[in-house]
Amino acid sequence: MSLLREIKKLTIPRAVILGNHDRGFDRTGNLLRAQLDFLGEEHCGWTLRDWQYPDIAVVGARPCSSGGGFFVSQEVQAVFGPITMEESINRIVFAAENVPSTIPLVILAHSGPTGLGSDAHSICGRDWKSPSIDWGDKDLEIAIDVIRKRRVPELVVFGHMHHFLKRTKSLRTTFFQDRWGTAYLNAACVPRRGQDTNGDYLCHFSWVEFVDSKLQHISHRWFRDDCSIAFQETLLNEAN
């Protein structure tokens, strides 16, 4: 709850999706329910969060996902009921249904969708055991396909699959753009805080910029304590 309290202190618009480690392991769902009650409308799982400034809509995918196709834990079922894959798809699609095409649509998920590669270094690839397989969420992939019939989501943001691979100690692919123009961003830099070779403390943010409702820039940025940028990895930079 300490991180959630820090998020609640922010004075900017915000949307939160809880991950598999947030659900608790008590099978009653009490810890998960307490976190959801604390977040209130700021939790966007299966729902729409939008605001006028910046003019953007955030749709949440299935909360507390652990990837691997489709799995709903007992904790999640205790809070939300016995959700089927079809029900999860319908909830995501319904949340995006009334977002105007003039407003950027961002889908926020804990695990990304299936269909983006099955190698260990793929953006949602399983890297901790052999064989490597696609470890994304199937319901999210199908929901995006359905949403695309009405409008193309500009951005899908997720985490869960850490940037540093366990078995090879190499780096994961963290950005992909499909043939419809939807960008997929893996923001799971772990640990998010650390020190550089000079001993300066750094904090990682995945940074996205929209200009006139168009996706313009995506990067990974490491900030110093004084908010200056120590290092930036540019993933997308559209010319004006």
Alpha carbons 140 and 192: distance in angstroms, whole number: 25
pTM of the model: 0.95
Superfamily of domain 2-190: Metallo-dependent phosphatases (3.60.21.10)
pLDDT for 25 equals 84
* Residue labelled with tokens 């200056």: 228
For 70-97, letters b (16+ CB in 10 Å) and e give bebbebbebbbeebebebbbebbbebbe
Residue in 85, 98, 81, 73 with CA at minimum distance from that of residue 23:
73
Cα three-residue angle 221-19-88, rounded to 5 degrees: 120
Please, are residues 156 and 112 in contact by the beta-carbon 8 Å criterion?
Answer: yes
Contacts of residue 47, defined as CB under 8 A and 6 or more positions apart, other chains included, come to: 59, 60, 91, 95
What pLDDT does 92 receive? 98
Concatenate the DSSP letters of all residues of 74-98 into one string: HHHHHHH-S--HHHHHHHHHHHHTT
Per-residue pLDDT of the chain (240 residues; tens, 9 = 90+): 678 888 888 888 999 999 999 988 888 999 999 999 999 999 999 999 988 788 999 999 999 999 999 999 999 999 999 999 999 999 999 999 989 999 999 999 999 999 999 999 999 999 999 999 999 999 999 999 999 999 999 999 999 999 999 888 899 999 999 999 999 999 999 999 999 888 889 999 999 999 999 999 999 999 999 999 999 999 999 865
Domain boundary assignment for the chain = 2-190, 194-240
